[in-house]
Structure 1
Amino acid sequence: MKVALVRHRYSPHGGAERYMDTLAAALSDAGAEVRILCASWDGSSAGKVSVERISVPRKPVPLRLLLFARAVREWAARHPEWLLFSLERVPGAEVCRAGDGVHAEWLLRKRALRPGSWPLDYLRPLNLVYLHLERAMFGSPALRRVIANSNRGREEIVRRFGLPAETIRVVHNGIDIARFPLDRKADARRSFRTRFGIPDAETVFLFVGSGFARKGVGTIARAARLLAERGCEPFRVVLVGKGDPSAYVRSAGPASDRLLFTGPVAGADDLFLGADAFVFPTVYEPFSNACLEAMAAGLPVITTLANGASEVLSDGVSGFLLENPLDASALADRMGKLFSLGLREQMGEQARRLAEAHPVERNTRETLEVLESVWGMRK
């Protein structure tokens, strides 16, 4: 089997890129010939597989994406012996992984964040390009199978693009459970508090993610304010990721000192192990790897039904699932429940068990099954 994996740009901190890195290595180990088509790459699998860079101009970004997609299609036409598996919106791929979700659905859900200006989103060139490539990819006669990382994601694709449900395989994200040895939690907790100057008595809620608006930092800030106004126990919310914190600090008001923005942090595993709970009230998320990492670290997780990871959580057992991502009062209520050490430990144990049921090996095996089935269709 010859598989060409497509990703526009590799970032060592990206979930989709880690997935691609792991899959490329697994394919190679299974005896497949693997080639990575990309504009830039810095992955650890690069020594095992062939990497072919697609040269496109860096800016403007909308044009870059269009030219990249066209160049990949031209490459595929010159190399018909390769199975094209894309993690991007690239029309002409035989298999695509919709790990970034459906952009049309995100724009719809985003309206709640921009009630007065959302129509402008449909005039922005980048959004127009994403929507065009998305329609063209799901409408391409070359497309044989789609991998969605949640049942909700599959439903969105069926509803918006009319693909038969049987052509879409749901493969939930997987986790390398060995990254989170539970016997390190006590040391990680002490190191966490020493690093950020947090007293031992404070309950620490962790958030990890970039794209603050989409992933619910506004709701976190308002919930922190509500908790402070209720005179709750001492707590801190540590927010790891790229973004401008100023608006959220203002929104938190008297609880602004309860929010600690760290910026991007490489190797956040010890932060997961050292925190007390994980909070991620996202407006739209195909499947949050960060939630799965938190579960693997034995943390109760508060997230929303708009997150595909909610499908592997159990509300009230391994964490809490919010119906409305903008409901700061509901978030504050759930955070308040987790001031209880006993409940945190009980839920964290359940979360860990659920994470153990989703190892990265399972994800890789199910993905390989899809690729092998499509390869068999070629014969």
Structure 2
Amino acid sequence: MNESAVLATGTPALHLAGKPLRILLVVDGFYPSTGGSELQVRLLSRAFKQAGHQVEILAPWLDHNKPLAETIDDVPVTRLAYPKIKLLGAALLLMRFALWLWSRRDSYDAIHVHMAKTLAAVAGLVRPYLKATLMVKISGAWEFNGGILDPALRGQPLYRIFNWCIRRADTLQCISQYTYQMLRDAGYPRERLRLIPNAVDLKRFAVTMGQGERLDDRRHVVFVGRVERVKGLEVLLDAWTRIGADAARLTIAGNGTERETLMRIAGERGISANISFPGEIRNVGELLATADIYVQPSFQEGLPNSVLEAMAAGLPIVATRISGNEDVVCDGENGLLVPAGDTEALRAALQRLIADRTLGARMGERSRAVIEERFSLPAVIGQLEAAYRGARA
């Protein structure tokens, strides 16, 4: 964690700082779902609604089992329909989105696009015709690694077009030091960049480390998230193979393309008896209450909600030394950082916290304190509201 960069400070109450704003939150993916951006949009929409603002959510119609329009958490959700035709369908979605924004150009005070994908580029393109201020959130998990802001693509015409569109946003929300520095290196003006992290609802995560209903007396290590290769879970299994089954058990919660593969690997290595794969968890707080240690062995992250939630639950963190993780985990204070892909370093860090309960408890207390100081929902909502209003001034 870079102590010189304060991503969020203070814990203001959820209240209006001025007249109510009309806010449109745009998510470029399934809504609702358990993805990081989608979870943040849902959390923010409820908080903005509670604070007295008028909030709407817009997303593409990716799941045809969902209606085109519905209300979730007392917030209207609209899904844009488009034909599922290769290339043409995506182009028609972007055109539909542009026309939708233009037809409602006077309807909002702030439009906040979560993740800089093609919808964000379209929003930037039509920005001059909108009354609303436009904020684009840069997660860093995708945009700079094969996404529309990848520096390796700088010579390509599409990269230049997308960058030109994104630069037209009034404000770019950077959720980590990495995303901020990448945009500065690409020439984005400092005055348009705001370091505002993902938020955590502290009420959902009481400090009950290890106090939930437990299967046995062994230490409980937990991972929650998408079960994909980028999460480094095969490295985790390699490390876990070298940790005695008598010492701890592991839960890998979530769904993804790697889940069946990991279950097979665990069986082949004879460690499946002390590893559980429960799939998607509806109540993450209940699972974290049974845990003693949280592990995040990813190769790439933005600012992982799962780590923030584990810290809010008062858990020590074992994580890879990558952007996002480094913004919230200070090695030796609230967790242990290891090189990505280093099986032995991951094993040693886990073994250390499994063996030293006092160290784990101390780090867990610091984890909760960091969240309360910097990442609470009121703090983040206050910063976003100020950014919306400031860009309109």
- TM-score of the aligned structures, taking structure 2 as reference length: 0.77
Mark the CA change 1:296 to 1:135 in structure 2 (over 3 Å): closer, same or farther: farther
2:98 aligned residue: 73
Aligned equivalents of 2:347, 2:172: Cα separation in 1:
38
- Residue among 90, 105, 126 paired with 2:145: 105
- Counterpart Cα distance in 1 of 2:319 and 2:327: 11
Percent of paired sites with the same residue? 24
**Which position in structure 2 is the counterpart of 1:338?**
353
Q: CA deviation at 1:30?
A: 4.6
- Superposition pairs for residues 1-379 of structure 1, below 5 Å? 1-8=21-28, 9-40=30-61, 46=72, 48-58=74-84, 60=86, 64-81=89-106, 82=108, 83-88=110-115, 89=117, 90=119, 91=121, 92-93=123-124, 94-99=134-139, 101-105=141-145, 136-140=161-165, 142-159=168-185, 161-182=186-207, 185-186=210-211, 188-190=212-214, 193=215, 199-200=216-217, 202-228=218-244, 233-243=246-256, 244-249=258-263, 251=265, 253-322=269-338, 324-339=339-354, 340-357=356-373, 358-376=375-393
Distance 1:368 1:170, change over 3 A: same
- SS of structure 1 residue aligned to 2:173: strand
Instruction: Give the secondary structure class of the aligned counterpart of 1:239.
Output: strand
Which consecutive unaligned segments of at least 5 residues does structure 1 have? Answer: 108-121, 123-127, 194-198
Q: Which residue of 1 aligns with 2:4?
A: none
Q: Per-residue CA shift, 1:159-205, capped at 9, x if unaligned?
A: 3x43123321111122111212235852x143xx2xxxxx32x2211
Counterpart of 2:5? none
Q: Matches of 1:283 and 1:265 in 2, distance apart? A: 23
Q: Is the 8 A contact 1:240 1:265 kept in 2?
A: yes
Paired AA for residue 136 in structure 2: C
Looking at structure 1, the residues matched to 85 and 213 of structure 2 have their Cα atoms a distance apart, in angstroms, of: 43
AA at the equivalent of 2:259: P
Distance 1:66 1:27, change over 3 A: farther
Q: CA deviation at 1:278?
A: 0.5
Residues 59 and 278 from structure 1, CA distance in 2 versus in 1: closer, same or farther, beyond 3 angstroms?
Answer: farther
Shift of 1:63: 5.3
Of the structure 1 ranges 70-79 and 167-176, higher mean CA displacement relative to structure 2 is found in 70-79
Deviation, 1:223, is 0.5
Asked whether the equivalents of residues 315 and 321 of structure 1 are also in contact (C-alpha less than 8 Å), the reply is: yes
Aligned partners of 1:135 and 1:101: how far apart in 2?
20
Aligned-partner Cα distance in 2 for 1:67–1:370:
31
SS at match of 1:103: coil
AA aligned to 1:7 is V
Deviation at 1:21, TM superposition (A): 2.3
Higher relative contact order (CA 8 A, sep 6+): 2
Deviation at 1:95, TM superposition (A): 1.5
| Distance in 2, Cα, partners of 1:44 & 1:27 | 18
**Which amino acid in structure 1 is aligned with residue 143 of structure 2?**
H
Residues paired across the two proteins, number: 340
Give the 3 Å change call, closer, same or farther, for CA 307–290 of structure 1 in structure 2: farther
Shift of 1:363: 1.0
Compare 349-358 and 4-13 and name the one that shifted more.
4-13
1:247 shift after superposition: 3.3
CA contact (8 A) 1:153 1:308 kept: no
CA-based RMSD? 3.0
Partners of 1:66 and 1:144 in 2: CA distance: 25
Residues 209, 292 of structure 2: 8 Å contact kept: no
| Preserved CA contact (<8 Å) 1:189 1:275 | no
Measure, in 1, the Cα distance between the counterparts of 2:392 and 2:162.
19
Q: 1:218 to 1:44 in 2, by over 3 A?
A: farther
Runs of 4 or more off by more than 6 Å in structure 1? 41-45, 131-134
- What TM-score comes out, normalization by structure 1 length? 0.80
Unpaired stretches in structure 2, ≥5 consecutive residues: 1-20, 125-133
> Which residue of 2 is the match for residue 111 of structure 1?
none
Is the Cα–Cα contact under 8 Å of residues 76 and 84 in structure 1 kept in the other structure? Answer: no
Contact 2:208-2:313 within 8 A present in 1 as well? no
Relative to structure 2, which stretch is displaced further, 247-256 or 175-184? 247-256
Q: Kindly tell me: are residues 359 and 172 of structure 1, through their superposed partners in 2, closer, same or farther at Cα, counting changes over 3 Å?
A: same
Query: Which is further off, 42-51 or 337-346?
Result: 42-51
Aligned-pair CA distance for 1:265: 1.5
CA deviation string 1:319-339 (max 9, x = no partner): 1112x2100100000001012
Equivalent-residue separation in structure 1 for 2:253 and 2:54 (angstroms): 37
Q: Residue 275 and residue 183 in structure 1: after superposition, are their counterparts in 2 closer, same or farther (change >3 A)?
A: closer
1:125: which partner in 2?
A: none
Residues 73 and 158 of structure 1: CA distance in aligned 2, closer, same or farther (over 3 Å): farther
My pick for the range that moved more, 343-352 or 254-263, is 254-263
